[in-house]
């Protein structure tokens, strides 16, 4: 069952604001996926409109706790995060960061990016204006 709260991130939101927003939630009850890219011109993290177009299915998992710009995804909680990046894994490319509580995490997790978001989501409730989808734990 999905949570009633979908957290929207406008592109003007900074990474710190995102972390503050996430830390206000009970993260042990949720898993979430984030797709972001860093815009060096505006100095902001932004949702990549072209992530699906640029990837063209050529994706792989990269196990990594740290992203460029010295931001540490592991600071969100629970340690390990997974990044899905275009091949080869390049820190300049947009990425999808998946964070999940330990009970949801697997080393061979597969994430498929779809035009109207992820295959785990209820397509009828998806909204492209919503950047973060939170799934309540079982």
Q: 46-72: per-residue pLDDT in tens?
A: 444 444 444 444 433 344 433 333 333
- In terms of C-beta density within 10 A (0-12 exposed, 13-18 middle, 19 or more buried), how is residue 88 classed? exposed
Write phi, then psi, for 66 (nearest 5 degrees).
Answer: -115, 140
Assess contact for 84 and 61: CB atoms under 8 A.
yes
Q: Residue 109: pLDDT above 50?
A: no
Domain assignments of the chain as residue spans, ordered by start: 15-136
Q: Could you say which DSSP state residue 79 is in?
A: S
Q: How far apart are CA 46 and CA 86, in angstroms?
A: 17
The predicted pLDDT at position 113 comes to 28
Q: pLDDT: is 21 or 71 the higher one?
A: 21
Q: Most distant CA pair in the chain: distance in Å?
A: 41
């Amino acid at each position: 069952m999905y949570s009633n709260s979908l957290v929207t991130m406008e592109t003007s939101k900074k990474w710190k604001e995102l972390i503050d927003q996430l830390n206000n939630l009970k993260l042990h009850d949720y898993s979430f996926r984030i797709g972001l890219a860093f815009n060096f011109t505006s100095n902001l993290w932004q949702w990549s409109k072209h992530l699906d177009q640029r990837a063209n299915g050529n994706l792989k998992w990269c196990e990594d706790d740290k992203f460029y710009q010295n931001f540490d995804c592991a600071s969100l909680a629970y340690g390990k995060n997974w990044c899905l990046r275009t091949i080869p894994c390049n820190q300049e490319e947009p990425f999808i960061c998946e964070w999940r509580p330990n009970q949801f995490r697997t080393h061979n997790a597969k994430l498929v990016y779809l035009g109207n978001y992820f295959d785990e989501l209820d397509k009828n409730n998806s909204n492209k204006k919503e950047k973060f989808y939170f799934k309540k734990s079982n």
